[in-house]
Chain A
Amino acid sequence: MNRFEYARPATLAEAVAAGAVPGAAYLAAGTNLMDLMKGGVMRPGHLVDISRLPGLDRIERLGDGGVRIGALVRNADLAYDTDFARRFPSVAEALLSGASAQLRNAATAGGNLLQRTRCTYFYDTASACNKRDPGTGCDALGGENRLHAVLGWSEHCIATHPSDFCVPLTALDAVVEVEGPKGRRDIPLENFHLLPGSTPERETVLEHSELITAVRLPAEAARFAANARYLKVRERTSYAFAVVSAAAALRLEGGMVAEARIALGGVALKPWRARAAEAELAGARPEPVTFRRAAEAALADAKPSGDNGFKIELARRIIVRTLTLAAAGTPERMPALPASPFSGAITHA
C-alpha cells in the first residue's frame, strides 16, 4: 500500500481545508476508493476521512415538500426509509438494484455520485487510459468494449458512468449541494457530471476540495410518485452493473401524460437525461406507440463506440418497458423488489 497522510477532521470547515492540499481525496465508505488504491489506479497522498463528519447522515424532509439527503446517508438506509421510498419510489428501486446488500450497507450517497467508471482498461494500470493518465490514449477503443458508451462519447474516452442511484435523481431534477473553499453552492445533477470531450480526466464540475454535503430532491419530484419506476438490465440477477438502465416518471392527468421524466444509465459517461423523449410524451396518450416514439427520440444521436451496437436497441426497449411499468402505476409495496423470475404460473400456447 502506498504511503499517505490520513486525517479525520471534526468539522466540515476543517474537512474542506484539509481537502485543499494537492493530491488529497475524501474518503467516505471507501467501497470504490479503497479498491482503486489497492489496484494502484488512484494514489492520493492525503486521505481526508469524512465518514464521521457530524450532521451529514440525515434524511431531512424540507418545508416545501422536498428532501435533503445527507452525503453520508448509506444507500441501504435511504432505500429502506419508508417515507422517502413512498415519495421517490424510483430512487429507492435504483438503490436496491445496485451492488450487493453488503456494499449498499456501507456505500454513501455522496460516494455513489462520485464513483468512478468500471471501464476495465481504467482499472488495468498497464493499459493506456486518458482518464487515468491524460494523454496516453484509450485502449478501450478497439478493445473489449461491449459495455461501453453509445451516447456522448468521444475518441478520447468511451466509458460509462456506472451509478444506478444517479439515473432517477437526474430524471427528477436533483440538486447537489457542495461546500468548498469559496463557500456553498448548488449544482443541478444534470450538469454535475461532464462528458469526456478531450478531457476525460475531468469528470465533474467540482473544484478541487469541494465536498458534497447533500443531494436535494425538489418538491415537484414527489408529484411523480404514483407512476415512477427504475429498470436495470444486467448480466446476472444481482451484484452486477447495468448493461443499460432507465428511470421513467410520469405525471398523468385525465388519462394523458402531463409531464414525463426519463433518464438512462449505462449508456454514457454521465447519467443521461432524455429530454427529447420527454418532449415526445408531454401531452400524449400513454400507449405503446408513444413510448416507442419517445425511445427513438432518446437514442436518436446514439452510435456504437465498438462492439456495443446492441445497447442502442436494448436501451430503446428498456425505455418502452419502463414507461409501460410507470404508466401501470408504482406498485403498492415499496421499495419494489426486483421481480422474481421464479414465481408466476406458466401457460402453454
Chain B
Amino acid sequence: MPEITLTQAPAHIRMGSSIGQPLTRREGVLKTTGAARFAADNHPPGMVYAALAVSSIARGRVTALNVAAAMAHPGVIEVMTPKNAPKLALDPDAKNNPFMFRLDLLQNDRVRYANQPIAVVVADTLEAATEGVALLEPQYEAEPARTGLDSDDSFAPAAVGAGSPAEESHGDITAGLAAASVRMEAVYDTPAQYHNAMEPHAIVAAWDGDTLSIDTPSQGMAMAQARIAGLFGIAPEGIHIRSPFLGGGFGSKGLFSGPQVLGIMAARLVGRPVKLVLRREQMFGPVGHRAPTRQTLRMGADGQGALTALSHHTKTASSTFDDFFEPAANASHALYASPAIATSHEVVRIDTGTPLFMRAPGEAPGSAALESAIDEMALACGMDPLAFRLKNYAEMEPISGKPFSSKALRQCYEQGAERFGWAKRPQAPRQMQDEAGMLVGWGMGTAVFPALMFQGQARAMLRQDGTGVVETGAHDMGQGAWTALAQIAADSLGLDLDRIEFRSGTSDLPDAGIAGGSAHTATVGTAIHGAGADVIGKLADLAMDDERSPLFGAGNAGVIARGGRLHRRDDDGRSESYADILARAGLAEIEGRGTGAIDPAAQAAYAMHAHGAVFAEVKVDPDFGQVRVTRLVGAFAAGTVVNPRMVRSQYYGGMIWGVSFALHEHAVMDKRSGRLMNPNLAEYYVPVNADVPSIEAILVEERDIHVNALGIKGVGEIGVTGTAGAIANAVWHATGVRVRSFPITLDQLLDA
C-alpha cells in the first residue's frame, strides 16, 4: 500500500484544528479511479486460484466426493478434502476464549450447516477451479435438519453477546406489573439476516517457510494474526497481513473466518500462493449472520404514564456447535426509566452456521421490538409517543443506577421533533393522506448505543524537517478511518494535516485492536492522541531545558503545540519550531507511543452511551399494502464529532440499514432442508436507491469529559437503532395495523 498523499485544502488552518473539519475521504480518489487495491486485487507471482465447495445439506456427513473427476479436469492442481487437508496445530473446535469461534476446516466429514465448506479445489484458473467444484458431486448421509425457533428444547445461556449476563434485573417486575393501571404484552419477530458487504471475504495467501504473507480484509488484524498463529503453530510475528481497505465489514470480518483459513491451508498444501474469494451465495453460512429472534415485551404504567415495569425476553437461535447469542433483550437496559426492569434470553440450537456480531448486534432487533412496544404502550396510556418517552426519560442508567457520562437525548428529541414537524402529528392512526390517496403515517424511535472502547496502540514520530509520522494498524472499512484518524493524528502533533504521514492498514504497525462496537475511532484516536502527546512532551522537555531556546524555563506555565511550533502558554509570542528544537538537540527524530483503552475508574462510575431520536414518515398504499419510507430525520448526540461529513454518512448508512431492517431484509430458509433459498442480491432484498428517502442527520452538540480524552463516542451503529422501530410505528400510524413481524411486508397490510 503506497503512502497516501494528503491533498486537502488547508481550510482547517484557519480553525486551528483538524478535528471537526468535514474533510472528504483521503482515499476517495484512489477508490473512484480503481487504484485502491482490495485484497482480491493482488496477484503475487505464481498465484493459483482456489474455489470452495460447500454442502447442500444442513446436517449429516459427506460420504463421497468425486475427487478423481475434479482432478482430471484440465487446470486443476489439487483438491483439498479431509483426507489430505493439512493437519492443524490446534483443534479448530477448541475454544479458549469467547471470541474464539469454532471453524469448519476440513478436519472431518461432518456437516453442521448448509453452505459449510466441504472441499477446496485449487487450479490454474478460477474457471477450472469452479468447474472442479462442480465435478465433485458430493454424496451425503443426511440427517433431518433442525430449523426454526421451535425445533428443539431451549435453554438459558450463561452469557449473551460479547459476554454480558443473559439475565439481568432490578426492582420487582411482578409487583411493578401488579401495581400498573395500564399493561401491555406483545411478541415481536425478527428474521435471520446475513452480512453482505460489497466485497465478499477474500484472501491471497503466500507461504515462505513458516512465514506467511496475506492480503485479506480484516476488522481486527492482531486478533487474526493470533488466530492464524494458533491454528498453524507459527509465530504471530511471522504473519504479515495487509488490509488497507475493506469493501465493508459490518462485523462479519471482525473475527477470522473459516474460508479465510482454508485459503491459507490450500496455499500450504500446493506450495504456491493461493487466492480464494467467496461467491455471493457462500456469504450465507460460514461467515456469520444475525440470528432470528422472538421477543416478548411486557410493560406496566401508572395513571400518569410512568412505567412501573419493563420486561424484555428474547428467544433466539444459535448453531449446534458454538455459542453466539444475539443479546436483543439488553436493548432495554439503558433507555427508559422504570422502577422494575427484567431482561432475559433463551436459546435453541439449530442447524445453521454460527451467528455473529452484525451491525448493532442485539441492539438492532432489540430496539425494533422495544421501540414498537413503547409506541404501543404510549397508545395504551393515551399519550403522544414523544411525550411518553419524555415522561419516562432516564436521568440515571435504569439497569445500573449509574449517572450518565453525558446524555443529550433531550436535545435530540427537541431538535429532531422540531425539524420533522412532529408537533402536527395527530394522535390517532389513519388521519393523514397525500394527494394520490396514499395513507401517511409518522412514527418515532429512540436510538441508543453504548460508548465502548477496546485496546489500541499507536506510534508517533516527529522528524527533523518538522513533519510527523503516525502509525497504527487501524482498519478502514469505508467508514473513513483513514481520514478521521489522520485528523486526530495531525492535531496530536500540532501539525497541519499535510505535514503528517499517516500509516495504517497492515499488521506490522502497532495493534489497533478491533474495528467494531463503534469503538474504533474512540480507541485508536485516544492511542494516537496519547502518542502525539508523548512526542510533544519530549520535545517540550528538550526546549524548556535548553537555555538557547525561547521556551527555556517555561516549565510551570507549559507550552502549546500548534502549526509545527511550540508556544509558551503564557506568552504566545515566544515560540520555536519543531525543526529548530530537533536540530539544536542533534536529533533526527523523536518517537512517542500511546494506548487507547477505557478508563476503568470512569467506567465504574458512569454509564456511557450515545443517544439519538429518529422520526420517520411512511406512505402506504391503502389497497396494496406497499410501504415506502418518504422521510427520515435523525438527531444524534455522540460526543466529539471528529469529521462531520464521515459522521453524517455513518448516520445515513445506519438509518438506511434501519429501512432495510423494517421493510426488506429477510433470509428465507427452507424449513425442511435448512438451505437458504435467497442467497443472492437479486432475491435477498436490501433497499435500492429508490427506496431511500430524503434523510437528514442532525449532529447534536455533546461534550463528554469521561469517555476518553477526546470525548469521542461511537457513531457506526447507532443509526440502525431507533430507525426500524420508528418506521414500524409510522406504518401503524398510517394504517392502524400493528405489524409485529419484521420485515413488514405488504401481505401483512392487505387487510388494513
Residues of A within 8 A of B (CB): 1-3, 40, 100, 118, 120-121, 124-127, 139, 142-144, 146, 233-240, 243, 310, 313-314, 317-318, 320-321, 339, 341-342, 344-349
| Cross-chain contact B130 with A1 (CB below 8 angstroms) | yes
CB <8 Å contact, A310 and B747: yes
Within 8 Å by CB of A317, from B432, B623, B670, lies B623
Verify B688–A348 contact, CB threshold 8 A: no
Bound-state Cα–Cα, A326 to B669, Å:
40
Q: How far is the CA of A283 from the CA of B420 in the complex (A)?
A: 50
The contact of A120 among B57, B683, B694, by CB within 8 Å, is B683
Q: How large is the interface on B (under 10, 10 to 19, 20 to 34, 35 or more residues)?
A: 35 or more
B434 touches A235 (CB 8 A): no
Q: Let me know if B440 is at the binding interface, CB within 8 A.
A: yes
* Closest residue on chain A to residue B683 by CB atoms: A120
Provide the B527-562 mask, 1 if CB < 8 A to any CB of A, else 0.
Answer: 000000000000000000000000000000000000
Alpha-carbon distance between A118 and B678 when the two chains are bound, in angstroms: 10
Query: A239 to B683, alpha carbons, bound, how many Å?
Result: 9
Q: Is B704 an interface residue (CB 8 A)?
A: no
Q: Is the CB of A347 within 8 A of B432?
A: yes
Cβ distance A180 to chain B, nearest Cβ, rounded Å: 32
Q: Is the CB of A127 within 8 A of B675?
A: yes
Check if B619 is an interface residue, CB within 8 A of chain A. Answer: yes
Instruction: Please pick, from A1, A317, A345, the residue contacting B434 in the complex, using a CB distance under 8 A.
Output: A345
Is B155's beta carbon under 8 Å from chain A? no
Q: Mark B680-718, 1 if CB is under 8 A from A, else 0.
A: 001101011111011000000000000000000000000
A341 to B630, CA, bound (A): 7
- In the complex, chain B residues whose CB is within 8 Å of the CB of A121: 677
| Chain A minimum-CB-distance residue to B424 | A348
Most chain B beta carbons < 10 A, residue from A118, A313, A321, A341: A341
Interface of A is mostly: loop
B750 CB–A CB distance under 8 Å = yes
Q: How far is the CA of A62 from the CA of B682 in the complex (A)?
A: 38
Question: In whole angstroms, what is the CA distance A313 to B56 when docked?
Answer: 36
Of the residues A310, A317, A320, A348, contact of B431 by C-beta under 8 Å: A348
Q: Which of A40, A317, A339, A349 contacts B134 (CB 8 A)?
A: A40
Q: Looking at B426, B691, B745, which has the most chain A CB atoms within 10 Å of its CB?
A: B691
Q: Does B24 contact A (CB under 8 A)?
A: no
On chain B, the residues within 8 Å of A118 by CB distance are 682-683
CB distance from B631 to the nearest CB of A (A): 8
Q: Point out the residues of chain A lying under 8 angstroms from B436, CB to CB.
A: 339, 344
Task: State in angstroms the CA–CA spacing of A314 and B685 once bound together.
Answer: 21
Cβ-closest 6 pairs across A and B = A126-B56, A237-B690, A341-B628, A344-B434, A310-B747, A120-B677
Q: Which residues of B contact A143 (CB under 8 A)?
A: 670-672, 677
Chain A min CB distance to B357 (Å): 26
Query: What residues of chain B lie closer than 8 Å to A236, measured between beta carbons?
Result: 663-664, 685, 687-688, 690-691
Q: How far is the CA of A345 from the CA of B436 in the complex (A)?
A: 9
Give the distance to chain A from B159, nearest Cβ to Cβ, in Å. Answer: 34
CA distance A40 to B671 in the complex (A): 23
Contacts of A344 in B (CB 8 A): 434-436, 438
Contact B626 A233, beta carbon cutoff 8 Å: yes
State the Cβ distance, A159 to closest chain B Cβ, in Å: 13
- B433 an interface residue at 8 Å Cβ cutoff? yes
Q: How far is the CB of A27 from chain B (nearest CB, A)?
A: 17
Any chain A CB within 8 A of the CB of B150? no
The interface residues of chain B lying within 8 Å CB-to-CB of A341 are 438, 619, 628, 630
Complex contact B745–A235 (CB within 8 A): yes
Among B651-674, those with CB < 8 Å from A are 663-664, 668-673
